[in-house]
Chains A and B, each alone.
Chain A
Amino acid sequence: MAEMTLLQAINTALHEEMARDEDVVVLGEDVGVNGGVFRATEGLYQKFGAERVMDTPLSESGIIGSAIGMAVYGLKPVPEIQFADFIYPAFDQIVSELAKMRYRSGGDFTSPVVVRTPYGGGIRGGHYHSQSPEAYFCHTPGLQVVIPSNPYDAKGLLKSAIRGEDPVIFMEPKKIYRAFKQDVPQEDYVIPIGPANVVRSGTDVSVFCYGSMVQVAEKAANKASEDGYQVEIVDLRTLYPLDIQTILNSVKKTGRAIVVYEAPKTCGYGAEIAATIAENAIEYLEAPIIRVAGLDTPFPYTLEYVYMPHPARVYRAIQDVLNF
């Protein structure tokens, strides 16, 4: 076991996977000599060399497009998009190409690229260093979307992603990159892509969340437990494919559902969770499903604390479903 942050867990997973499989390569802006602007790729360049750890020109479509070509040839590229906010120049390569390579070629060609990208607010980054674009990618058949919420999961999920046969958009909650440490096994382990994780079990309300919102939900749950209510928190971990069964099991038990996500509320990923529950378990519900989300505005600078879902807002939703 070693105590490490989420960022160190990512870095460790990259080191171990590159050592395990020489087909794994890393590419992106500032990922080489500088070790990434967040230091997620620290030490890789020094250890594995410039051929496997590539500082690229400043072009996201170039990064993803070339990664697709490498994957088609047989490498396992793990490109980094410096901020999720800058993934849009690569949007075409991701949604038209990466996502469809297997299907459009009848499996003749595949592109198992793992796109790592820090996402989310809470770091005073304004419009262009704070966004949460996961819903675009969940809406694109052919992509898997994974978001860890803690160091242990980050290492295991990233390893699974790299060993898998399909493309993954691996989104890292940068707000909690260094927020806390956790014991992470030094030996090899994987966490499969797919299953959600019930991080706190309870009987009164279910809160579905992922990434940095798991901590926010936990704080709200602590407050609710002072009132005598037991909140269940389900960390989705994988947004696509979604672990529908775990969600339904939880709702059937509690009869109340809240979804927390920091992207703009309208058409955000929480709408999918709410619809899934409504379609499959509406008869179990004792209150409306509530979405606690970011606002339908671009991500702001000064007032980001008003924009971001915070524990008090989640707690209010918990009270609302309990008092319905």
Chain B
Amino acid sequence: MSITQDQGKMSTTAKQHQKLPEGLTESQLKAIYEAMLLTREYDDRCLKLQRQGRIGFYAGSFGEEACQIGTAFALREQDWIFPSYRQPGVALLRGVPLQSMMNNLFGNSADVVEGKQMPVHYTSREHHFLSISSVIGTQVIQAVGCAMAAKIKKDEAVVLTYFGDGGTSSNDFHSGMNFAATFKAPCIFALVNNQYAISVPVSKQTSVECLADKAKAYGMTGIQVDGNDVLAVYRATKEAMQRAKVGEGPTLLELKTYRAGPHSSSDDPTRYRSKEETEKWLKRDPILLFQKELESLGIWTEAYEADVKASIQNKISEAIKVAESLPQPPWESLFEGVYSNDPQALMAQKEDILTHESGLELTNEGEFPL
């Protein structure tokens, strides 16, 4: 089964009957749009911060706004997210405070992990948003375990995990799919097929043309969705949620989209793909597509857009200002939190360094090259 752009359009014809698509209210549709805009603006500003040398690294999600918001909007508070590093919009939509995310990017003293992780590696248990690992694929099988636990405890929670087309080559993707289907775990695999794993195109990643087909081999439902059509993504996620809730187990959702920006602040995509290719995809910018849809429903106006953007930009500027003004975390923090109890050897290292080196003027030398 495949949900295409055309089917997405069909639902918008509902407006003639004064009905809004997907049973969403006007304010919900606006919330979706605003979340997409926020994601875009956040990415844009953060990449600029990196270019200006104010933060050390950034990886944006340009072009993947519909994949993020369409899925996350279908989830409930009790559901869980096992993300990769490319879903800032999901974190924001779940309610992870912008300030907290900005503090991570600056690795400052107010950062919840006090600068222990690289930029874009957020964490928030409160929002059921698992701490992000850089290691490709590891979260996939963990999400399945989390869903198995919810099932064992008879809680009505669904776990959604994000990973890329590159991630489908990892061992943990395969064991994740197999475990999920075997245990009928209430989880959703959101495969964001942005067609690149750094420089490697999806055609070199797998021989399968439709990645959703991979589901068949594991005995689960697989659906390819137009990942630039936010309402199509939303509908497919809702349906996957329904399957999970009634005990039919997992779904693989292939969200077909395009990584419109560089892999990260260290990547130069002109080395491996043409400008024409990128421009072709930019014509299907998910924000633009949804904007047109909202306009045709009489919801979007230029004034509305300007208002929303201004307010987003103010919020982001404020968060940057605060994050940038905060000092680095204290050296003590480095030694804390490895275990629930501090080991003797580590405490000896702490004492040695604090005693002998506190007065030294040390700084970071390197720059992240990738």
Binding site for B on A (CB under 8 A): 29-30, 33-35, 37-38, 55-59, 61-62, 83, 85-86, 88-89, 121-129, 174-175, 177, 265-266, 295-298, 300-307, 310, 312-313, 316
User: With A124-B364, A298-B338 in contact, is A303–B272 under 8 Å at CB?
Assistant: no
The number of chain B residues with a CB under 8 A from chain A is 57
A89 — nearest CB in chain B belongs to which residue?
B171
Residues of A within 8 A of B117 (CB): 126-127, 301
B57 touches A124 (CB 8 A): yes
Query: In the complex, A298→B115 CA distance in Å?
Result: 12
Q: Pick the contact of B206 from A37, A57, A175, A300 — CB < 8 Å?
A: A57
Q: Pick the contact of A266 from B206, B345, B353, B369 — CB < 8 Å?
A: B345
Residues of B within 8 A of A304 (CB): 364
CB distance from A324 to the nearest CB of B (A): 16
State which residues 99-129 of B face A: CB under 8 Å: 107-108, 111, 114-119, 121
Q: Kindly list 20 other residue pairs between chains A and B, CB separation below 8 angstroms, not including A124-B57, A302-B108.
A: A29-B197, A30-B199, A58-B169, A58-B170, A59-B170, A62-B169, A85-B134, A89-B171, A89-B172, A124-B368, A128-B133, A295-B353, A297-B334, A297-B335, A301-B117, A301-B118, A301-B119, A302-B107, A302-B328, A306-B334
User: What are 29 A-B interface contacts by the 8 Å CB criterion?
Assistant: A29-B200, A30-B199, A33-B199, A33-B271, A33-B272, A37-B266, A55-B199, A57-B166, A57-B205, A58-B167, A58-B170, A58-B200, A123-B366, A124-B364, A175-B366, A177-B369, A265-B345, A266-B345, A295-B346, A295-B353, A296-B346, A298-B338, A301-B115, A303-B328, A303-B329, A303-B334, A306-B334, A306-B362, A312-B360
B365 touches A305 (CB 8 A): yes
B354 — nearest CB in chain A belongs to which residue?
A306
* Binding site secondary structure of chain A: loop
A58 touches B166 (CB 8 A): yes
Q: Pick the contact of A129 from B137, B204, B334, B368 — CB < 8 Å?
A: B368
Interface-central residue, A174, A302, A303, by most chain B CB under 10 Å: A302
Residues of A within 8 A of B349 (CB): 265, 295-296
State which residues 23-55 of B face A: CB under 8 Å: none
Q: Pick the contact of A125 from B199, B200, B272, B368 — CB < 8 Å?
A: B368
Residues of A within 8 A of B343 (CB): 296
Closest 8 CB pairs of A and B: A302-B115, A126-B118, A34-B199, A128-B134, A302-B107, A57-B169, A123-B366, A58-B166
Query: In the complex, A38→B204 CA distance in Å?
Result: 20
Residues of B within 8 A of A310 (CB): 362
CB distance from A261 to the nearest CB of B (A): 14
Query: In the complex, A303→B353 CA distance in Å?
Result: 13
User: With A307-B334, A310-B362 in contact, is A126–B121 under 8 Å at CB?
Assistant: yes
A305 touches B363 (CB 8 A): yes
Residues of B within 8 A of A307 (CB): 334
Residue B302, interface by CB 8 Å: no
B118 touches A129 (CB 8 A): yes
User: With A58-B166, A89-B170, A297-B335 in contact, is A129–B370 under 8 Å at CB?
Assistant: yes
Residues of A within 8 A of B369 (CB): 37-38, 123, 174, 177
Query: In the complex, A310→B356 CA distance in Å?
Result: 13
Residues of B within 8 A of A298 (CB): 116, 338
Query: In the complex, A29→B169 CA distance in Å?
Result: 11
B362 touches A305 (CB 8 A): yes
A55 touches B204 (CB 8 A): yes
Residues of B within 8 A of A122 (CB): 365-366
A296 touches B345 (CB 8 A): yes
Query: In the complex, A306→B331 CA distance in Å?
Result: 8
A122 — nearest CB in chain B belongs to which residue?
B366
Q: Pick the contact of A302 from B170, B329, B357, B367 — CB < 8 Å?
A: B329
State which residues 321-360 of B face A: CB under 8 Å: 328-329, 331, 333-335, 338, 343, 345-346, 349, 353, 356-357, 360
